[in-house]
Amino acid sequence: MLKYKFLLIVVITGIFFNLAYSVEKKSENLNLKKLYNQAFREYKIKDYYSAIDDLYKIIKYPKSPYYAPSLFLLSKIYISIGRKTGIKTYLTAGLYFLNLYLGKKKKVGWDYYYTKGNLYEVLGFYERAMFFYKTSLFMTKDKNKYYKSLIGILRTAIWYKKLDIITQYAIKLSAKKLLQNIQDPEVRFLKGLLLFQNGKYNEAYKYLYKTYKEFESYLIDNPEFYFVVAENMYRIGKLDFAKQLFRRIVSITQNQEIIRKSMLRLGDIDIIQKDYPTAFNHYYYLANNYKKTKEATIAKLKIIGYRNIPEFNKRILRAKDEWLKEPFRFVYFILITNRNNSVGRYALADFGNFIFKYNSKLLYDKLSWELSVLEIARFNYQEREYIRKLWKKDLLNIEPKWLCLVFSSNKRFFYEIFNKEFLIKISQRVSSCNNKYKIEILKFLVDKYKDDKSKFLLGKAYFEIGEYKKSLNILNKIIKKDCKTNILISKNYIMLDKLETVKKHLPKIRKCKEKESSIILASYKLYKDDINNAYKLFYRNLDLIKEKYKNSSFYKKVLDMFANKTINFGNYNLLYQVLSKLSETYKQDCNINSWYLITKIRINKINNIDEIYKRISSCNNKWANIAKNIYQDFRLFQEVKK
């Protein structure tokens, strides 16, 4: 009997113990549930650190049903903090808790893949982000989740510059009429970002400005987006507004990298607005208070790059920083240790700026080598802008031989960095050392811009080197043919001895005010044997002929035509009137002085023919030989006559 009583006591005790444990377990879970709900509310109101404290209390209980949700919520919080502050440690923590969550759950859903895509987007791993966003897209039928995944894919594709993906998924968004939801800050920013990345800054303005005005909190939570808004204002020239936005980024956001980039831009705006003391202060503060950062080094390079500005020079002379004592050494060290990154490209700008001040083949060879190993595709907008500011003036002032050396080392660099108008100026300068480079630059401009101005300049360049058929081929493609174009086309036909073709251009040429139009008309009149009227046009434009004749095959040909016609028709007086104005200027020219000698003898103006004969004594061409024979016959006749 005692045995059964003992067993009964054991059973009853076990029942009570289990009941007590069950009650305790339920109580514990109830407390964890309250704690989790509290953390979730804190997350929603962005009280992240309080939420973290609560969640860390929950994850002490791995067997709790709130353990896995807490891991996932922790990852989302850390990603949010990392996005806002730019501190990679938080993002790494977010990845750590996401992976713990994955290990705990047998099956994960849309929220996991979307969050992981968001994490990789913030880290700048766009290809990975794209994979997770796409996976999340195919895991949901919920309209809002589908929409968020599509936005994530599109935004990542824009950062990643994948046009095919942008097009593909933008169509999906449009088909579902989701892009019409312009009140959504993500959609509005997305539209602005796409236009911004495509260089359509004025079009991007309306979307980015409204995002700032109506959804600034969205930008504060995403500082890199805020920077895009401010940068767009900078690029469309709204400098005061851009300055206001960059200052606001510095004062209210927590992302240190974005703050440093904004401070650089504040200095850049001061340079444009010629507030040089403030510009120096921005750069110098950045250089000294954010040491060992990329932006601090760039700030140092900008101070050195702008060292010739008097206000900068005064401050540099007073400074005791080591990098300012030997700036060239500092720049070269930064260049050779950072060739493949952004800092190295800023250093290259400074390096060239130093070298342009010297006349050293050794230095120009070094610069040419540095240019030859550049990967132009890596240059961003700010780097291109800086190198243009430092190089443009010097490139137009250095000796053409150095310009040709630098240009030939990396032609694509010039094509990518400089705009059309500057490349036109470069083409004019390189022609003195290598005319082939001029043609190459102008052909590039025609292929890229397909504009009438570039076509005209290429046609003119071909004309100048005697490629008349190529010149005509280009010039005839010009859509709006103005006076200069019609004149140049006619000059090509004259050089090709196709004067009959000139006739169809004459009605337009007669309306032109350019002096060369008279030369075209005179040439056509010569072709039609209207010598007197041709002479009148030539005589009226003798100053132009005198100016152009030396370096122009066209003017030499036209004068040759005039000489041939007047001599053949015996109009020596007309030819004499023209040549008497040219002979003294071109004493070494065989043709002019040969014709002049012939006309003087024929019209019996023999006062200085011996002197003119001496001018052509060493000449050996058709007209020189004819003139010599006429002169010798004339002198022989005079001797016989005595």
pLDDT in tens, 106-122: 889 999 999 999 999 99
Whether 487 shows a pLDDT value over 70: the answer reads yes
Asked whether the predicted pLDDT for residue 24 surpasses 50, the reply is no
User: pLDDT by residue (tens digit) across 270-322?
Assistant: 999 999 999 999 999 999 999 999 999 999 999 999 999 999 999 999 999 99
User: How far is the C-alpha of 232 from the C-alpha of 333, rounded, in Å?
Assistant: 33
Smallest Cα–Cα separation from 190: which of 238, 241, 148?
148
Q: Which residues contact residue 380 at a Cβ distance below 8 angstroms, ignoring those fewer than 6 apart? A: 342
Compute CA 586 distance to the chain's CA centroid, rounded to the nearest angstrom: 47
Kindly give, in sequence order, each residue whose CB lies less than 8 Å from that of residue 552, ignoring residues fewer than 6 positions away. Answer: none
Question: Would you say residue 453 has pLDDT above 70?
Answer: yes
pLDDT score of 151: 86
Report d(CA 334, CA 7) in Å as an integer: 85
Mean pLDDT across 592-607: 94
Of 377, 375, 347, 365, nearest in space to 408 by CA: 365
**CB neighbours of 70 closer than 8 A, spacing ≥ 6?**
36, 39, 55, 58, 59
Per-residue confidence (pLDDT) for residue 168, from 0 to 100 = 65
Select 1-169's CATH number: 3.90.1150.10, 3.90.1170.50, 1.25.40.10, 1.10.287.180: 1.25.40.10
Q: Under a CB-based contact definition with an 8 Å cutoff, are residues 379 and 419 in contact?
A: no
SS3 211: helix
Is residue 162 pLDDT above 90, yes or no? no
Model confidence at 174, pLDDT cuts 50, 70, 90, reads low
Mean pLDDT of 596-619: 93
Determine the pLDDT at residue 19: 38
For residue 105, give both structure tokens.
């759950």
- 100/112 Cα distance (integer angstroms): 12
Instruction: Locate the domains of the chain by residue range.
Output: 1-169, 326-418, 570-641
Q: Please give the average per-residue pLDDT across 423-433, as a whole number.
A: 94
pLDDT for residue 147: 84
**pLDDT tens readout for residues 373-386:** 998 988 999 999 99
Cα–Cα distance for residue pair 405/420, rounded to 1 Å: 20
Q: Any idea which of 89-93, 103-107, 264-268 has the lowest mean pLDDT? A: 103-107
CA–CA distances in Å: residue 378 to residues 406, 467, 628:
20, 38, 68
Confidence category of residue 143, pLDDT binned at 50, 70, 90: confident
Residue 468 has pLDDT above 70, yes or no: yes
- SS3 call for 593: helix
pLDDT band for position 9 (50/70/90)? very low
Cβ contacts of 219 within 8 Å, gap of 6 or more: 189, 211, 212, 225, 226, 229
Confidence of residue 129 (pLDDT cuts 50, 70, 90): very high
397 pLDDT exceeds 90?
Answer: yes
Closest CA to 229 of 271, 252, 262: 262
pLDDT, tens digit, for every residue of 511-547? Answer: 999 999 999 999 999 999 999 999 999 999 999 999 9
